Structures are given as C-alpha cells and as structure tokens.
Amino acid sequence: MRKLYRNIAIVTTIFLLALSVMLGVSYYQMQQVSPLETGVMETLKELNDTNSDNEALQQQIRELDLLSRKAYFVKEGQLKMGFYLLLGMALVLVVCLNLYYRETKNLPEKDFDPIDDWMTKSRARKYLGWAAAVVALIGVGFVVVQQIDWSNMFNKEILAEVQDEGESLEVNNESSEGSGEKVDTLATDSVKGEEVDSAEVDDMPELKIASRAFRGNNSGATSAARGIATSWNLSGKKNILWQSSIPKHGYNSPVITGRNVFITGADAKARELYCYDVWTGELKWTVKADGIAGSPSSMPKVNADTGLAASTVATNGEEVCAIFATGDVICADMEGKRLWAKNIGVPDNHYGYASSLLMYGNTLIIQYQNNSNAQILALNTKNGNTAWSKKSNDKIAWSSPIIATLGGKSALVVMGNPAITAYNLGNGSELWRVECMSGEVGSSPASAGGVVFGASEYAKCVAIDGATGETLWEASDYLPECSSLAATKDLVFCATSYGMVCAYDAKTGEVKKEHDLTTPFYSSPVVVDGKVYLFSNSGKVYIFSASTFDLITSFETGEKTFATPAFTDGMMIVRTDKSLYCVKK
C-alpha cells in the first residue's frame, strides 16, 4: 500500500515539475510580450499606410492579426487550465505523502533527550552575534561610501544599463581624460618645441595690444593685431603655441592684457576666474567667487546653451572683473588677489544671465536687463561702489554693451528689447534711444565710422547715426541669433545661427555678399588685420577678406567653439568647449 502511495507521489512530483516549468515559461512570455504587441504587426500596418492598397500586404496583415489573436486567447485559456491542474496535482501529492508517512513519526534523536537547551542557546547566541556583526559591517560599508549620494548612484546604474548610452558615457570619459593627457603633453611639448625654458619665458615681453573685453577692446569686434596665422592644426601642433585644459566649463570668451589671459568657468559647485600665461598657457592663478553676501545657495535655473558662466570678463589692465549667472561680481588684481566681490541680485532670467562686462577706465559697466528690474549699472572697479545706475523698463535681453565713438565722443551703446540706447559714459544720462528691437535680443551691436549697427533675429538689422540717433536704414535679409555683428566703415558682417553669413553695405543696408555655410554660428566675427575671423560651432574656421567679404580660407579645428577668439599682436587665443589654445605663426 505504502509503495503505491510512494509511486503516485513520485509520478505526481515529476508531472508537477514539468508542468510548473511549462507554465512558468508561458506565463513569462505572456507577461513579457503579449502576442498582440508583436512589432511585426505594427510595421506591416505602417507599411500599408505608406503604400496605397497593396492587396497582398493587406492579406498578410489580416492573417497575422487572426493568428496573434488566436495565440493570445488560447494561451490565456491554457494558463488558467494549467494553474488549476497544478493545484490539483499538488493536492494529490500532499495527500499521498501524508498517507505514505502516516505510520512513521518523528522520533527523538539520540542527542535530543535530554536536550541540552543551554548549549543550543549559546550556539544560537554566537550565530546571531556573528550575523549581527556581518550586517553591521555591511552597514558600515554603506556609510563609508555615503559620500556618493544615492540618487546619482541610482542614475548611474540605470545609465549603465542603457546600452549605447553607457558606451557614449565611456567615450566621453575617455575623450575627456584623453584630452586631459593630450593637453599636458601638448603643453610641455610645445614649450620644448619652442625651446622656451622658464628663464626665457620670464623675459618674454608684455604684449602691446590687449583685448580687454568680449570681442576685443571696448567690445568693438575689431583688433589692431597684426600677423595672425591663417592656418593652424591642433592635432599636428602646426602654429599652435600651447593648449591647456580648462578646469570648469563656460561659454565666455578669453580676454588678454599684459601677459595674462582671463576666462571664467563655473558649475553647480563653484564659480571661478582663471588667469593663464599668454606665452606658456600655464594656469597662473584661480580666484573663486565664494562667500559673497546675497549669493544664492542653490544655482539659478539656466539653459544648457547659456550655462552659469556665459558672461565674458572685462579688464582695464589693473583690475579684472567677472560676473556669473548668480549675480556675483568679483574683482581681482593682476596677481590674483581678490579685491572685492558683491552680489548685484540674482538675475531673474529664464535662460541664464549672459551679458558680458565692459570697462571704461575705472568704471565697470553691467547691462543688467532681466525679467524683473532692467538697469544699466556702473561700478567703481577699485571698491565696487556704484558710480551710477540707470533703471529702464526695457524687457529682458542677453546682449552685451559696447563703447562706440559717436560724434567724436566715446559713448556707451546698449542694445536691448525694445530699444538701442546710447548713454553718456560719465553719468549715464541718455543720449538717444531708438525703439527697433523685439523678441529675444541675444546678439550685441557694433559700431564703425560713428554709426551704430544692431541686429536681432526676432526683429531686423538697423543702422543708427551715432550723433543724431536717427535710423539710417533697416534690413531683415539675414539676422543673427547669438552671434554679434562686426563692422568696418564699409561693411557690416553678420553670421546667423542657421548657417547664412553675409555682409551688409554699411551705407545702404543692401546685402553685398552672402555665403551659405550650412553650419550654425554662435561665435562672433572679429575684424583683424584686414580679415574677418569667424568660428562655427563645430569648430570650423572661416577667414574672409574684410574689404570684399570673399572667403579666403576655411578649415576644421576639430574642437567645438562657441566663444569668440581674442587677438593680440601675432597671437590668437581661442576657447573651445574643453580647452584653451594659442595660435602663433
């Protein structure tokens, strides 16, 4: 009798195992991809949508559809049946086992009676103690790696899972590391290549020609520099004096004075002003913008294309000032000593504050035009006190102020929404105001021969007589978005963010020449040595003749470039998205 039970039990067990495996599998499939959602169907249907009534195809779809529905419902039925079957068998098994074991009962083991309760207890104690210890250790482990905040951990994990994403990440890391190394080697190599050892470096002369603000002195988009190389090659180090990595990211452009090159960088953790040596490219010093009263604890929300350090610094040869999207303004001397710092109020700016600074003698000019409170600030560079400030109810703008010579006198020209306004640099009194702008004004004006040129993608391109403030001409053939205008007294150069570049006639406003380069431009053109230098976002360099606007040459540099280069005699400093390099013949 018992034998029978045993056999039944055995058989049922085998069946149970087989069945449960089968069920498990089909259940899994059901859960994963229901037959109704096979990709084939969708693709076929889409195919059918595109090519009009293809009988065969439609037939195919209909059959497949029928098939999949059958599969779905049949499977569903099977599952239900299977489950009941499983339960039934389990029941049988248990009953059989019970019957089989009915006669035999557990009997005391030899070591059981009389049980040594105490011994077991103490053993249990040991085990538990150990277990607790292990748990505690793991816990401690956690606490140790506590520095890594978990959410990031969690994100990383997920990112790692997304295949291509993971790869791309690695790639990035590699590339960045790679570039890091490359930079180092480069720096040293170049130094060797030039046989400039430290002694000589120190004897190297200070540079005559400076570039003290965004797009050169007075932010004028022209430079008196001579002898700039018209071809270079980063990988081949041709005409490259040095290349250095930049600690923190930023879209601002380099500024040159003496033998110092200034740029800023920022991330959520810190905002910093860097000073490089123009001859060797070594990072001489860093000034942090921290511990500033009124500075926000959490970073303002900024657009990725703007970042926290979009504004270019300005210098007057003695002090250098920088501003960040947090509204922090810092001022340092040429040795990297922080003179003063203040927060002029966190800009209420949906993309992030981007207007660059400008210096005129000891006056620092800040175009502080945001959603709430738009004003022009003039600070004393010695102590940061406000020299004068001009409130206006202009709308938000991202463009940068320039200093133009209007009617023979230097004046401040600010392009905002809706007006281009000229101010007296001394006291900020308004010289003239022309309402001609609209939308989101991102590019900056230019000036040549006493005429002010301003253009914005959402409005038009206008030329204004600097003396009288009357509008000379308007045009809207091609309009810049981020890139700014550059001007000679004959031509106005404009680079759009959709790849068209053109030269307007400065007198009439008609398009003299246009090139469709089909690559976006955020960097601004600069007129140097009878040429116009222009970088595309992808890092392709275009060099035009400043007189005819014919394309002289163009070549890839291989590094994304959004900043505008700075020129000094014989040298050009370029900031790419990850490094800073110096071009010299």
Please, what is the minimum distance in Å from the beta carbon of residue 491 to other proteins? Answer: 21
Q: Which of 296, 426, 439, 469 binds other proteins (CB under 8 A)?
A: 439
Pairing of strands 283-288, 314-315: unpaired
Q: Taking a C-beta distance cutoff of 8 angstroms, is the pair 490, 461 a contact?
A: no
CA dihedral 327, 332, 336, 341 (to 10 degrees): -50
User: What is the distance of C-alpha 228 from the center of its chain?
Assistant: 30
Minimum CB separation of residue 73 from other proteins in Å reads 8
Q: Which is nearer to other proteins, 123 or 489 (CB)?
A: 123
**Of 414, 408, 424, which Cα lies nearest the Cα of 467?**
408
**11 lines the binding site for other proteins (CB under 8 A):** no
Give whichever of 199 and 304 is closer to other proteins, judged by the CB atom.
304
Element (H, E) at 463: strand 461-465
Rule CB under 8 A: choose which of 4, 7, 98, 386 binds other proteins: 98
Amino acid at position 304, single letter: A
CB of 30 to other proteins, least distance (A): 7
List 10, 22, 74, 122, residue binding other proteins (CB under 8 A): 122
Instruction: Record the tokens describing residue 202, joined without a space.
Output: 């120190």
Q: Which residue has the tokens 């511990």?
A: 291
Cα–Cα distance, 219 to 120 (Å, whole number): 86
The tokens for 112 are 């059981």
Give dist(CA 174, CA 448) in Å, integer. Answer: 46
In the complex with other proteins, the residue whose CB is nearer, 80 or 391, is 80
Distance of closest approach, residue 129 Cβ to other proteins, in angstroms: 6
φ, ψ for residue 495, nearest 5 deg: -120, 125
Task: Give the 3-state secondary structure of residue 67.
Answer: helix
Among positions 401-430, residues that touch other proteins (CB under 8 A) are 417-418
**How far apart, in Å, do the first and last CA atoms of the chain sit?**
104
Shortest spacing between CB 347 and other proteins, in angstroms: 17
Instruction: Tell me the window of 204-212, 322-330, 436-444, 462-470 that interacts with other proteins (CB under 8 A).
Output: 436-444
Q: Does 69 bind other proteins (CB under 8 A)?
A: yes
28 binds other proteins (CB under 8 A): yes
Between residue 291 and residue 320, which ones bind other proteins under the rule CB under 8 A? 304
- Closest C-alpha to 525, from 510, 505, 545: 545
Residue 52 burial (CB count, 10 A):
6
Among 1, 39, 46, 195, binds other proteins (CB under 8 A): 46
Helix (H, G, I), strand (E, B) or coil at 420: strand
In three-state secondary structure terms, 352 is coil
The stretch among 278-286, 318-326, 492-500, 570-578 that binds other proteins (CB under 8 A) is 492-500
Q: Of 146, 163, 372, 393, which lies in the binding site for other proteins, with binding defined by CB under 8 A? A: 146
The interface region with other proteins, picked from 133-141, 176-184, 217-225, 546-554 by CB under 8 A, is 133-141
Residue 289: alpha-carbon gap to chain centroid: 20
> Applying CB under 8 A, does 79 fall inside the site for other proteins?
yes
Q: Which residues pair with 273 in a beta bridge?
A: 264, 287
Position 457 contacts other proteins (CB under 8 A): yes
Span from 64-72, 258-266, 370-378, 463-471 in contact with other proteins (CB under 8 A): 64-72
Considering the rule CB under 8 A, would residue 7 count as an interface residue with other proteins? no
Distances 555 to 230, 497, 540, 565 between C-alpha atoms, Å: 10, 19, 6, 16
**Interactions with other proteins, residue window 495-524 (CB under 8 A):** 498-500, 516, 518
Residue 81 near other proteins by CB under 8 A: no
Interface with other proteins includes 124 (CB under 8 A)? yes
The answer to whether residue 72 forms part of the interface with other proteins (CB under 8 A) is yes
Nearer to other proteins, 111 or 203 (CB): 111
The answer to whether residue 202 forms part of the interface with other proteins (CB under 8 A) is no
Q: Do residues 314 and 340 touch, judged by C-beta distance below 8 A? A: no
Q: Which of 39, 114, 291, 408 binds other proteins (CB under 8 A)?
A: 114
